[in-house]
Structure 1
Amino acid sequence: MKIDSDFSTEKQCIVIDIGTKYTKFGFATEHSPRCIIQTQSEIDGMIVTDFYNCIDQQKLTLALTKFIHRLFYKHALIAPKEKKVIIVESLLSPTKFKETLAKILFINYEIASLCFVPSHCVALFTLGISTALVLDIGYKETILIPVCEGVPVLKLWQAMPLAGESVEKQIKNQINVNELTAEKSTNDIIEDIKVRSCFVTKLNRSKNLVEGKDVNPLTTDASYHINGEISITIPGRVRETAYDILFEENIDEMSITTMILETIKNSNVDMRLKLAENIFLIGGTTIAKGFKARLKEELQEKVNSSKYQNLKISKFKFHIAPVYENYVAWLGGSIFGSTNNLNILSQTRENFLKENFIPDWPTTHTRPKVEQ
């Protein structure tokens, strides 16, 4: 149901979630983004895709400026001048990226105000709860942050460079991509294969496949057609095991499963059960068929091992997102944009030009005074 608001379309607050792979754009109080586009920009014929890890400040500024222009004028078809803007960000986003984006929006595009909100916190607005274990599995990495009464517990955060990109690498290494045409990039095709053909298998079947045992029924091979001319075969084994990389433990015995258990283990005793019963999955990778069921199986097996048996947790509960997981955080930003907190936590253009400062969540909109 759409939230009642005094905003008109022209004055409505803009909500942008800049992900490492896709960016979501829309207006506050609306239930879904107006557009979802790839996070990339072209500079001198070269495609820049990783804004967050761009070391060259000049290159980052130019890439972001072009990207924001394309986002507003080509896809959203509105002028950003004098608009209020919310940026849904990861709490682990580089400060350089945040400061560069703020300067571009305030100086180049003359927006009225800007507010950065953490994705792990605002995602809970969509559920109407304030405490949960929020696991964000995007394209480049997996980030786990527990939120207690609306406050992120940063001392317990966990992150791993395992996410959608890792799954795509598994697929690419196991199928023949030599025949793919240049009309569509190999990466786009691999991503499409991942979404259309692959799924997360059950824990027992995964173990049997790893051990080389026969499984029944066998997963059928799938044909993937390119431009109606070329067809490649996706083996059933690849379709079924591509996502297993997310559950395999690394040399430090860490995986998505152990990330959750370690966070619960290191939290206060009185919070452990509440976190175990309030797990919230966000990010595009979690949409994969069978993902939630497999994660639950993995957690149940691990928690009964000698390493975690002292947790005294018998079951894990997952919240069901009200929308697709890939834009849950955006929707949380949309809900936040319809509240009075927006004006309290936003930085205005006037104050930014005067102080050159962007507050962190959830500090006030002015720079803290430092005693001399």
Structure 2
Amino acid sequence: MSTVGYGQKATYVGQTVAENRGVLVTSRPINNGIVTDWDAMEHFWFHMYYDKLMTPSEEHGILHTEPVDNPPANREKLIELMFEQFGVPSTALVTTSTLALYASGVTTGLVVESGFDETRVVPVYEGIAYLKTERMPVGGRHVTQYMIRLLNDRGFNFTTPKDWDIARTVKEEQCYSALDFQRELAESFVGAEEFVKSDSKQYRLPDGSFVQVRSEAFRAPEILFNPGLFNIESKLGGVHEIIFKALTIRSIDEYKDMPNNIVLAGGNTLFPRLQTRLENVLKSRIIANPERRYAAWIGGSVMASAPDFQRQCISKDEYFEHGTQIVNSKCFM
């Protein structure tokens, strides 16, 4: 990290940013799973190696996750930094979709990844992710934003970064997917009064007041099925519809087992009852592992522990012999 003045860091990474977000100018090096700020990404990697892992980058190979549509130029830039700047002995790039399947113990299936920025459906056959994916522009941040709008409609004033953190906590602790949205919405009112469930927690706001979630608990996640509720345009509709399209437009034999291997991955799939609702709508088996927020990491640990993993990696010697283009011929999972 560079410094400016006495005892001041020019760049902060990780928890320090979260704790001081109200007084810092923040940026995200990754958007929609793709690195868009390489300078910030370098700071992140230095923080990872020397502040958190406290191990020299030159001593260990590294497996990187990537989205299936990661541009070739980005892949080449990544391995260039790894070998030239960090001096790693070897590296590999594997799609998050493939790793999510590995975490579930299968190598062929349809992966439904819903993260911070978006939701995508990726077919994977024998460990190879297909570039053709279905997606919609709804992710965890949109559910949080919709939660804030719904709470503000009740008279609250969620505007600050701290308010965002509270809304995110409310979402993660209280929200669930309604099995029958219209019925639950009707049942959430007794006359003109909105019903508050007995297990609904109260959350203290910075001004000392309290908020208790009501129908927002199931209305906020509903944008996964109906993005239009939050004025989000999705050409293919909700998550169930993009899954259905991914299943029905395929005609080759490779897809015949996919309806029984639909795997949920990402933190935005953790809402209670989401698995059941998708199974009811799609009439398919949905695999929803409890640790699916970390599905790519778990799958990566499984893959990196395999005896033949090193054969999938790019070594330092290979990099300096063939250049950055080797990543596009050797790393294709």
- TM-score band (shorter)? 0.7 to 0.9
Asked if residue 118 in structure 1 is aligned to residue 95 in structure 2, the reply is yes
- Report the Cα offset of residue 230 of structure 1: 2.4
Query: What residue number does 1:47 align with?
Result: 26
Structure 2 residue identity aligned to 1:158: E
The separation in 2 between residues aligned to 1:137 and 1:53, in whole angstroms, is 10
Structure 1 residue identity aligned to 2:237: M
C-alpha distance after superposition, 1:322-367 (max 9, x if no partner)? x511111111111111224322221122332343315457x437xx
Shift in CA distance, 359/165, structure 1 to aligned 2, threshold 3 Å: farther
The separation in 2 between residues aligned to 1:96 and 1:116, in whole angstroms, is 13
Instruction: Output aligned runs, 1:223-302, within 5 Å.
Output: 223-226=202-205, 230-248=208-226, 250=233, 252-268=235-251, 270=253, 273-299=256-282
C-alpha distance after superposition, 1:101-138 (max 9, x if no partner)? 32222222111111001111122222332221111111
Structure 2 residue identity aligned to 1:118: T
- Answer yes or no: is the 8 Å Cα contact 2:262–2:286 preserved in 1: yes
- Answer yes or no: is the 8 Å Cα contact 1:106–1:112 preserved in 2: yes
- Provide the TM-score with structure 1 as the length reference: 0.71
Q: Secondary structure at the match of 1:115?
A: strand
The separation in 1 between residues aligned to 2:90 and 2:236, in whole angstroms, is 45
Asked if residue 84 in structure 1 is aligned to residue 84 in structure 2, the reply is no
C-alpha distance after superposition, 1:24-52 (max 9, x if no partner)? xxxxxxxxxxxx9999xx9xx53211424
Asked if residue 364 in structure 1 is aligned to residue 327 in structure 2, the reply is no
Query: What residue number does 1:15 align with?
Result: none
C-alpha distance after superposition, 1:59-91 (max 9, x if no partner)? x23211111111122222222123101002111
The separation in 1 between residues aligned to 2:145 and 2:89, in whole angstroms, is 42
The separation in 2 between residues aligned to 1:54 and 1:148, in whole angstroms, is 21
The separation in 1 between residues aligned to 2:54 and 2:150, in whole angstroms, is 42
Unaligned runs of 5+ in 1: 1-21, 24-35, 300-314, 366-372
Asked if residue 144 in structure 1 is aligned to residue 111 in structure 2, the reply is no
Whose helix fraction is larger, Structure 1's or Structure 2's?
2
Shift in CA distance, 273/100, structure 1 to aligned 2, threshold 3 Å: closer
- Answer yes or no: is the 8 Å Cα contact 1:344–1:364 preserved in 2: no
Instruction: Output aligned runs, 1:176-255, within 5 Å.
Output: 176=152, 185-203=162-180, 206-208=181-183, 218-220=195-197, 222-226=201-205, 230-248=208-226, 250=233, 252-255=235-238
The separation in 1 between residues aligned to 2:35 and 2:137, in whole angstroms, is 22
Asked if residue 134 in structure 1 is aligned to residue 101 in structure 2, the reply is no
Shift in CA distance, 328/253, structure 1 to aligned 2, threshold 3 Å: closer
The separation in 2 between residues aligned to 1:37 and 1:136, in whole angstroms, is 28
- Answer yes or no: is the 8 Å Cα contact 2:265–2:288 preserved in 1: no
Unaligned runs of 5+ in 2: 1-12, 228-232
Percent of aligned pairs sharing the same letter? 21
The separation in 1 between residues aligned to 2:17 and 2:275, in whole angstroms, is 26
- Answer yes or no: is the 8 Å Cα contact 2:17–2:26 preserved in 1: no
* Cα RMSD, aligned residues only: 3.4
Select the residue among 298, 308, 322 that pairs with 1:341: 308
Shift in CA distance, 115/254, structure 1 to aligned 2, threshold 3 Å: same
Which stretch shows the higher mean deviation, 134-143 or 334-343? 334-343
Shift in CA distance, 194/359, structure 1 to aligned 2, threshold 3 Å: farther
Structure 2 residue identity aligned to 1:262: K
Shift in CA distance, 191/100, structure 1 to aligned 2, threshold 3 Å: farther
The separation in 2 between residues aligned to 1:186 and 1:52, in whole angstroms, is 22
- Answer yes or no: is the 8 Å Cα contact 1:225–1:231 preserved in 2: yes
C-alpha distance after superposition, 1:180-231 (max 9, x if no partner)? 696x63332221121112221222xx11356x5666894425421247x724
Shift in CA distance, 231/352, structure 1 to aligned 2, threshold 3 Å: farther
- Report the Cα offset of residue 298 of structure 1: 3.0
Shift in CA distance, 93/232, structure 1 to aligned 2, threshold 3 Å: farther
- Answer yes or no: is the 8 Å Cα contact 1:345–1:364 preserved in 2: yes
Q: Secondary structure at the match of 1:244?
A: helix
Asked if residue 171 in structure 1 is aligned to residue 147 in structure 2, the reply is yes
Asked if residue 100 in structure 1 is aligned to residue 67 in structure 2, the reply is no
Structure 2 residue identity aligned to 1:286: T
- Provide the TM-score with structure 2 as the length reference: 0.79
Structure 2 residue identity aligned to 1:364: K
The separation in 2 between residues aligned to 1:270 and 1:350, in whole angstroms, is 40
